[in-house]
Structure 1
Amino acid sequence: MTTLTKTEDSPAPTGADPFLSVRDLYVRFSTEDGIVKAVDGLSFDLERGRTLGIVGESGSGKSVTNLAVLGLHNPKSTTISGEILLDGQELTGAREKTLERLRGNKMAMIFQDPLTALSPYYTVGRQIAEPFVKHTGASKREGRLRAVEMLGKVGIPQPQTRVDDYPHQFSGGMRQRAMIAMSLVCNPSLLIADEPTTALDVTVQAQILDLLKDLQQEFGSAIILITHDLGVVANTADDILVMYAGRAVERGSVKEVLQSPRHPYTWGLLGSMPRLSGDVEQPLKPIPGTPPSLLNPPPGCPFHPRCAYTGEVGGDRCSSERPVLPEGRGGACHLTAERKQSIFIEDIQPALG
């Protein structure tokens, strides 16, 4: 089990213009039941050479946000507004040809489900080589050699022969590694990793995370890591963005958020994790309730129906007024900073051990 530790402080941001800048992003899906408000006014920045960990329950908008960055939503049923700047280039509303030149080359994504992301009709090697040939102008032979190289890098045994296998001939973990190889084949400047270690054993998880670190160190890549594993975030990411109901409820450096979280939802995520040093007989403490429907999200703070501290705010402020996430370090919560600190020290921190 991964522990929530950070061996050293992350380097401070350089203050330069961010490589990826998202401002007031809204993503809406039209369905028979109504409009799904999947992402609701999200803003964040990411600089070259840094890793942003995005965490939250399923349905919080993590993957939807990053599919919007890559321009992979169906325009017939999706409405996207806001600003997405990649190295100064606006992606919102960009032409499909523009996005095709960027996808797989300047930006790439490791998809969560490799079984559906990989085509069953083509060999694994061909699918890895295709973006390399397309974006670099390499020959098919050079593309095949690059595919063999990448399969070896992600830990596939006998890559010279497995390169000609089809996805159904790979195990689930091997398909995941092949998906990672495809995403890394062109050394993208922005890599979005959606649960990249799912279905992998602990040893291979470490190899994959080390591979991402090596890519970042060599090319100065910006990485977005989408995961439910706070231990992976603690040991891999520089910054954390906590999402709930399509909104950012807290952000800050890994050290700041894990050592001094400022939102009740973040407290709940940390408290629901098993601990190596904890009592094995002690049951886990889940967050009460269920995530809200994004067809009809609750007014005010979206977390207030599940929050144990709404009575301390006074009146109906939590259920009627949307809390603002401050610039820089902070949490979108109506509790005062002093009260958040005292609750964490008195109630949350002792339970975390």
Structure 2
Amino acid sequence: MTGPETSGPYLEVENLTVRFPTADGLVQAVTDLSYSVELGKTLGIVGESGSGKSVSSMAVLGLHDRRSAQIDGSIKVGGTEVVGLSEDGLRKLRGNSVAMIFQDALAALHPFYKVGAQLAEAYRVHHPEVSRRDAKQRAIEMLDRVGIPQPDRRVDQYPHQFSGGMRQRAMIAMGLINDPSLLIADEPTTALDVTVQAQILDLLQDLQREFNSAIIIITHDLGVVAEMADDVLVMYGGRAVEYGACKEVLTHPEMPYTWGLLSSVPDVTSDTDARMIPIPGNPPSLLNPPSGCSFHPRCLHRHKVPGDLCSTTLPDLLPGGRGAGHVKRCHLADPDAIYAAEVLPEIAPSLVEER
């Protein structure tokens, strides 16, 4: 089975802004965010906690309470506008056209109901004509498809009887039970050991090939992004700060925040002189974000920009100096040269000549 044919991106997010009024002020969670994902492709969204990754993806499913969230911009899933869509329209969309694998499978699965019953319910919501018996059989088929052993027995067990990796597989089965064209995976390998992580990522890739689905994977792990993603979106302070083809962004990053993320990752192929360099300071407050470039209080390269441009003027998201479609939000005149000369030799000396 394959997803529907489309001549353009299946998901189109344009100028998305999400705000949360609170007693302390307005939380500016996501600001003017735009990206797109085609069927059969994977987008990796990376950034520190609080950068807006999960908030933006929850907006795609219409999961924010309209009474406590201010949402502007456009989100189109398969041509359907999500912003302003009725609750009935959102229920038809969720699980059917787009599904989400949540970060904490134990919290996402109801502890009082059997895993199979929860999967069957998710299926019958969109297929009310299907009997309970047939829905349970569909649940068994999906548990088997995601690699859970003895699915005909496991279907009648509770979430606490599953291991962490099995619960994550059950969440993937629930997400895919209605063959959605878009799957959003929010930290799908969190708290899993490395062997189970690899199995989960392989499973997602296999299912993508089978269903031709689009995938958004939200993660802190750049290794996961390098393994799975076709494109990568780097977020900081609720904004996109770099976007482009995965290989291009990871080998020729042009935003100092992306450099910081890469500098914090150990390189096992490098020599013993390679260092991990943490990003100084803390992520910005979304109640009172910094003026100008939101990264400038932590940026080690802001002195290379003339005057006080970094602290007073928000840089536009402009094309980088290399591949088409690679954009970055930075005032530096030649970031690729700075990265090659100053950053790369410190974090991966063995890659300098290769680059």
| The two structures share one fold, judged by TM-score above 0.5 | yes
Gaps of 5+ in 1: 1-13
Q: Does 2:122 align with 1:131? A: yes
| Secondary structure of the corresponding residue to residue 40 of structure 1 | strand
| Pair 173,207 (structure 1): closer, same or farther in 2 beyond 3 Å | closer
Which 4+ stretches in 1 moved above 4 angstroms? 279-283
| Pair 15,254 (structure 1): closer, same or farther in 2 beyond 3 Å | farther
1:189 maps to what in 2? 181
| Contact 1:105–1:131 (CA under 8 A) maintained in structure 2 | no
Alpha-carbon distance between aligned partners in 2 of 1:235 and 1:167, rounded to the nearest angstrom: 29
Q: Does 2:338 align with 1:343? A: yes
| Contact 1:24–1:41 (CA under 8 A) maintained in structure 2 | yes
2:326 maps to what in 1? 329
Matching of residues 1-353 of structure 1 within 5 Å? 16-136=7-127, 137-278=129-270, 284-326=276-318, 328-336=325-333, 339-350=334-345, 351-352=347-348, 353=350
| Contact 1:173–1:199 (CA under 8 A) maintained in structure 2 | no
| Contact 2:114–2:156 (CA under 8 A) maintained in structure 1 | yes
In the TM superposition, residue 184 of structure 1 has moved relative to its aligned partner by 1.2
Alpha-carbon distance between aligned partners in 1 of 2:40 and 2:161, rounded to the nearest angstrom: 36
Aligned length, in residue pairs: 338
| Contact 1:154–1:207 (CA under 8 A) maintained in structure 2 | no
Alpha-carbon distance between aligned partners in 2 of 1:224 and 1:326, rounded to the nearest angstrom: 23
1:10 maps to what in 2? none
| Contact 2:267–2:274 (CA under 8 A) maintained in structure 1 | no
| Pair 46,81 (structure 1): closer, same or farther in 2 beyond 3 Å | same
| Contact 1:51–1:239 (CA under 8 A) maintained in structure 2 | yes
In the TM superposition, residue 168 of structure 1 has moved relative to its aligned partner by 2.1
- Please identify, of 142-151 and 222-231, the stretch whose mean Cα deviation from structure 2 is larger: 142-151
Alpha-carbon distance between aligned partners in 2 of 1:268 and 1:248, rounded to the nearest angstrom: 15
Alpha-carbon distance between aligned partners in 2 of 1:64 and 1:98, rounded to the nearest angstrom: 20
Identity %: 60
| Pair 218,282 (structure 1): closer, same or farther in 2 beyond 3 Å | closer
CA offset digits 1:59-110 (Å, max 9, x no partner):
1000000000000011111110100011111100100100100101110000
CA offset digits 1:24-72 (Å, max 9, x no partner):
1010112121110000110111111110000000110000000000000
CA offset digits 1:191-211 (Å, max 9, x no partner):
000011122233322222222
TM (norm. structure 1) is 0.92
Alpha-carbon distance between aligned partners in 1 of 2:342 and 2:327, rounded to the nearest angstrom: 19
| Pair 175,304 (structure 1): closer, same or farther in 2 beyond 3 Å | same
Alpha-carbon distance between aligned partners in 2 of 1:222 and 1:288, rounded to the nearest angstrom: 35
CA offset digits 1:84-140 (Å, max 9, x no partner):
011111100100100100101110000001122111221111111112122133221
TM (norm. structure 2) is 0.91
In the TM superposition, residue 279 of structure 1 has moved relative to its aligned partner by 5.2
1:9 maps to what in 2? none
In the TM superposition, residue 329 of structure 1 has moved relative to its aligned partner by 1.2
In the TM superposition, residue 281 of structure 1 has moved relative to its aligned partner by 8.3
| Secondary structure of the corresponding residue to residue 138 of structure 2 | helix
Alpha-carbon distance between aligned partners in 2 of 1:219 and 1:341, rounded to the nearest angstrom: 38
CA RMSD of aligned residues (A): 1.7
In the TM superposition, residue 283 of structure 1 has moved relative to its aligned partner by 5.5
| Contact 2:103–2:190 (CA under 8 A) maintained in structure 1 | yes
